[in-house]
Amino acid sequence: MTEQSAHQLRTAPAQRAEWLAARQAIAVADPSERDQILHRWATRTRRSVVSMIDAARQGHIGGDFSVTDILTTAYLVALDVDPAQPRAEHRDRFILSKGHCAAALYSTLAFAGFFDPGELSTFMKPLSPLNGHPNRNKVPGVETNTGPLGHGVPVAVGAAIGAKLKGESGRVIVVTGDGELQEGSNWEAFMTAAQYGLDNLTVVVDRNRLQQGARTEETNHLDPLDDKFAAFGWNVEQIDGHHYGQLADALTRPSGGGRPHAVIANTVKGKGVSFIEDRVEWHHKVPSAEQVKQALEELV
Ligand SMILES: Cc1ncc(C[n+]2csc(CCOP(=O)(O)OP(=O)(O)O)c2C)c(N)n1
Ligand SMILES: [Mg+2]
């Protein structure tokens, strides 16, 4: 390490304890109590994203908000991971292929105790490990570097094949954007996953129907997306990507019949803040001071 290098992020034990307690509470909660806990954690993540992007004056707020409920449910309900041992054997693996939404991922990881949430204020600052896109060598809990779209699913397919070859029980969950599916590498990976019978793999499509500068369907038709996955040999379901019950069910249920599992999560880009929801310009627009205030008032 030189003076100039980024510092190491380490497990935050108190934060991890809070996360473990929330997981245990959810495990015995009825659906309405579970939803309240998940809403509280998701709201904290969305508020954190606002503050991070406000401080950095850059980021991708719309996609951060559409994926927040997916991330929250994955880490509080579905994934078998331990923030104290981010590289443990037999762990489940989570990949955020839409790496431009790093702020939501970092907040989720920090609130689970993978590192100190105090670090979040350094997002995108010089020498911070919390770069604009996630780096597995800098951030505990990040399984692979993402940012260039179209790479997360192929890497997840490799991880799922690797787990099978080693006889590991761990599952692989990967979240891709919907605009991202225009990258051909995804479709090669979908074919390969079916060929190898990867029933340990779940692909979640964050189906917010917007990409960087336009609606997906105005750019390159994806519908009927469920038929496409089915034709590629996948089990496929459509859910409401902001409904915690549907997310919990889809992310925990094993995929049957020796097939990989596709979850098309219908979401709203910018979910949670009225003036950001479903607006193309909020892909990477940065809120003014007044807009930050209004966003935080709405995120309760
Ligand atoms: C290969 C590649 N091309 C272009 C970009 C620039 N880019 C970043 S995000 C984005 C739009 C992604 O849209 P989508 O996958 O729908 O993400 P979301 O709506 O969830 O933000 C683009 C084009 C990139 N990161 N990688
Ligand atoms: Mg999109």
pLDDT tens per residue, range 121-178: 999 999 999 999 999 999 999 999 999 999 999 999 999 999 999 999 999 999 999 9
Number of CB atoms found within 10 A of residue 257's CB: 8
pLDDT over 60 at 245, yes or no: yes
Say if CB 53 and CB 120 are below 8 A apart: no
Domain ranges of the chain: 13-298
pLDDT over 80 at 6, yes or no: no
Q: For helices 289-298 and 31-56, what crossing angle results, to 10°?
A: 170
Q: How far apart are CA 236 and CA 245, in angstroms?
A: 17
pLDDT 10s digits, 80-91: 999 999 999 999
Q: What is the structure's pLDDT at 263?
A: 98
Q: What is the structure's pLDDT at 7?
A: 79
Residue to substitute in 97, 100, 216 for testing ligand 1 pocket (most ligand atoms within 8 angstroms of CB)? 100
For the chain, the first-to-last Cα distance in angstroms comes to: 41
pLDDT over 90 at 288, yes or no: yes
- Distance from the alpha carbon of residue 98 to the mean position of ligand 1, in angstroms: 7
Output the average pLDDT for the chain. 97
Q: Whose CA is nearest to atom 17 of ligand 1?
A: 177
Ligand 1 residue neighbourhood (C-beta within 6 Å): 60, 62-63, 66, 98, 100, 147-150, 177-180, 206, 208, 210-212, 269, 283
Backbone angles phi, psi at 267, to 5 degrees: -130, 170
Number of CB atoms found within 10 A of residue 286's CB: 14
- Distance from the alpha carbon of residue 4 to the mean position of ligand 2, in angstroms: 36
pLDDT 10s digits, 183-206: 999 999 999 999 999 999 999 999
Write the class of the CATH domain 13-298. alpha beta
Flag whether the pTM goes above 0.95.
yes
Q: How far apart are CA 256 and CA 239, in angstroms?
A: 18
